[in-house]
Copies of this chain bind each other. A is one copy, B any other.
């Protein structure tokens, strides 16, 4: 943007490529579609769309459907084409201190396989990597997918990740300064994209969650630790060192202090965490639990207010360990924010559950595929 980028002109071939992409995207957004419908949505003439569709089919991106249409209409039946979402797959990974989530998705984002497991929090860095590699290998083998069937992998990790994909925080033991993508390069020949977990949760909320209709979003992970993801203009904002939204550090705002002082001692169910137990008690309208939650929210309110004042977002999404509390969370937090901000944004609670980060990793991987759409020769036609 600093004026050094000179725009280059376009020739006929570029025009053709542009229109090809337009048709493919239209078809991906809604499948199947007739040529006539594509004509309407793209603004191109029928012979043109026909030619493009023919080319896309030959390259394996789309296919003609043989199933009859739902509603029968008079006249010659239109040929119907669909985006071949099964032509490739992407993987979304969420690997934290003690859990691993794997999602396998088709090119249209439909999840076709999932895996979740917990593991001891005291694994070494090398052991974690090895765990990820073996599980990933087995996961793909289960689905009878070879290395070339996966086009892109997104990985969410706790803590800051800089713009080269290198991990910049000390949350996971031995992973500081690790280039995780490079370590997996041997496993898979496709792009591997490492990203901060909150950022991916934000992407997921914008894709399928509470933030689907907003483009300026702050997503706050509320739990023992607090961190935030920032989306501006529909695009993730990472910051220079990947540290955007890391307000927890500032002692004046008391974010981490509030988390440490959560202090809910209600009896947890077997395998239930403190935050889960608290959320359950609040849902059961236990007044003591409500008081604990309220005190906690009062503690984190200044930090969230700072984020709100800095960004003035359209929407604030609450996610993380306390999201199971559900709807009451919004008004409770809003009451504490109100005296601290000019304007309390709309607040929504995440409904994506424990797969939010992995879902965001899928979205990230799909974005990568999207940015190189039509670059190569097209998918193979095996399936």
User: Which partner residue on chain B sits nearest A303 by CB separation?
Assistant: B306
Looking at the assembled complex, report how far the CB atom of A30 sits from the nearest CB atom of chain B, in whole angstroms. Answer: 9
Instruction: Give chain A interface residues in 331-368, CB to chain B under 8 Å.
Output: 340-343, 345
Looking at the assembled complex, report how far the CB atom of A98 sits from the nearest CB atom of chain B, in whole angstroms. Answer: 24
* Contact A241 B342, beta carbon cutoff 8 Å: yes
Q: How far is the CA of A198 from the CA of B34 in the complex (A)?
A: 51
* Contact B42 A22, beta carbon cutoff 8 Å: no
A10, A29, A309 interface centre (most CB from chain B within 10 Å) = A309
Q: How far is the CA of A2 from the CA of B208 in the complex (A)?
A: 10
Stretch at the interface among A122-130, A144-152, A246-254: A246-254
* Contact A250 B345, beta carbon cutoff 8 Å: no
Interchain CB contact (< 8 A) of A8 among B9, B22, B237, B313 = B22
Residues of B within 8 A of A8 (CB): 22, 42-43
Residues of B within 8 A of A246 (CB): 309, 312, 342
Q: How far is the CA of A160 from the CA of B26 in the complex (A)?
A: 39
* Contact A15 B10, beta carbon cutoff 8 Å: yes
* Contact B44 A9, beta carbon cutoff 8 Å: yes
- Encode contact with B along A1-19: 1 for CB under 8 Å, 0 otherwise: 1110011111110110011
Q: How far is the CA of A22 from the CA of B21 in the complex (A)?
A: 21
Interchain CB contact (< 8 A) of A42 among B7, B242, B311 = B7
Interchain CB contact (< 8 A) of A343 among B11, B212, B243 = B243
* Contact A240 B216, beta carbon cutoff 8 Å: yes
- CB of A310 within 8 Å of the partner chain: yes
Residues of B within 8 A of A26 (CB): 6-7
Residues of B within 8 A of A121 (CB): none
- CB of A77 within 8 Å of the partner chain: no
- CB of A307 within 8 Å of the partner chain: yes
Looking at the assembled complex, report how far the CB atom of A366 sits from the nearest CB atom of chain B, in whole angstroms. Answer: 12
* Contact B48 A309, beta carbon cutoff 8 Å: no
* Contact A340 B249, beta carbon cutoff 8 Å: yes
User: Which partner residue on chain B sits nearest A160 by CB separation?
Assistant: B342
- Encode contact with B along A188-213: 1 for CB under 8 Å, 0 otherwise: 00000000000000000010000011
* Contact B6 A342, beta carbon cutoff 8 Å: no
Q: How far is the CA of A252 from the CA of B253 in the complex (A)?
A: 7
* Contact A247 B309, beta carbon cutoff 8 Å: yes
- CB of A305 within 8 Å of the partner chain: yes
Interchain CB contact (< 8 A) of A9 among B23, B235, B309 = B23
- CB of A314 within 8 Å of the partner chain: yes
Residues of B within 8 A of A313 (CB): 239-240
Given contacts A235-B233, A310-B306, A312-B243, contact A29 B9 (CB under 8 A): no
Q: How far is the CA of A22 from the CA of B247 in the complex (A)?
A: 43
- CB of A238 within 8 Å of the partner chain: yes
Q: How far is the CA of A377 from the CA of B243 in the complex (A)?
A: 47
* Contact A310 B311, beta carbon cutoff 8 Å: yes
Residues of B within 8 A of A343 (CB): 240-241, 243
Extra contacts besides A7-B22, A241-B312, A307-B310 (16): CB < 8 Å = A1-B233, A6-B29, A7-B21, A8-B42, A12-B15, A228-B310, A233-B237, A239-B311, A239-B313, A240-B313, A243-B312, A244-B312, A245-B310, A249-B309, A250-B309, A252-B302
* Top 7 A-B residue pairs of the complex, sorted by shortest distance between their CB atoms: A239-B312, A1-B234, A9-B44, A310-B310, A243-B312, A8-B43, A306-B306
